A and B are shown apart, each in its own frame.
Chain A
Amino acid sequence: MIVVAVTVTVLLAIAGALVLVRIIRGPSILDRAVATDVLLAIVVAAIAMEAAYSRDATALPVLVVLAILGFVGSVSIARFATRKGDQ
């Protein structure tokens, strides 16, 4: 299981770095919103991986909060982003 944990950690770290580059470079605010959603999915995957690795369910409520947070954040950005506000 340690091999799997290291593999998943490396994969998620590379994915998070790529998504961070998109968040920094993203031309419009909607690109950044999409990339932030993906980053949140990566964080959820990392926390679930930690719970699976240590067989410890302490962090599972955090996953619920993060899922709700991603939805609310993305929808509110899409709702209030005007076409003149992004560039």
Chain B
Amino acid sequence: MSLDAVLDTVAAGCLVAGAMLCLAAGVALLRFPDLLFRLHAAAKPQVLGLLLVLLGCALRLRNGVDITTLVLIGLFQLASAPVAAHMVGRTAYPHRDIGRDLLITDELAPDWERINANRGVPSPPAQASQGPG
């Protein structure tokens, strides 16, 4: 078995694994009850599935320039997917769609009043002017 055949076989395995992760995320998005569960499921094809597919693509192409582009895509996705998921989760936090009975721990709840108090007052001068009134 030549090196090309071995590389092609590994690439095929990576591509199929990435596609399976995409399918798993699709099923999970449809069946999970809650936005936070869906965020958890949605991160799988965005990071691991995409990296597997890009690895399979790189193993098929075997070209320096193309592999550089694929590494760039993977690095950007690794940097951006957690940021996007965090912003969506943080926007959704005080929301009735999140089932509180399904949460194991809620580390934002003790600080929630303080955060809202800080957000209600835009700047310290405004706070000083509101004080006497």
Interface residues of B in 27-59 (CB under 8 A from A): 27, 29-30, 35, 38-39, 42, 45-46, 49-50, 53-54, 56-57, 59
Q: Interface size on A (CB < 8 Å)?
A: 49
- How many A-B residue contacts, CB cutoff 8 Å? 166
Given A4-B16, A49-B15, A55-B61, A74–B84 Cβ distance below 8 Å?
yes
Interface residues of B in 67-95 (CB under 8 A from A): 69-70, 72-73, 76-77, 80-81, 83-84, 87-88, 90-92, 94-95
Count chain A CB atoms within 10 A of each CB in B15, B26, B81 and give the residue with the most.
Answer: B26
B23 proximal to A (CB < 8 A):
yes
The interface residues of chain B lying within 8 Å CB-to-CB of A4 are 12, 15-16
What is the interface of chain A mostly: helix, strand, loop, or mixed?
A: helix
Residue of A37, A41, A52, A81 near B15 (CB, 8 A) is A52
Pairs of residues from A and B, 8 with the lowest C-beta to C-beta distance, nearest first: A18-B26, A15-B26, A71-B80, A11-B19, A52-B60, A74-B84, A78-B87, A52-B57
List 19 A–B pairs whose Cβ atoms lie within 8 Å, in order of A's numbering. A1-B8, A7-B19, A8-B16, A8-B19, A14-B26, A22-B26, A28-B92, A38-B29, A41-B25, A41-B50, A45-B45, A48-B57, A52-B59, A52-B60, A74-B87, A75-B83, A77-B88, A78-B88, A78-B90
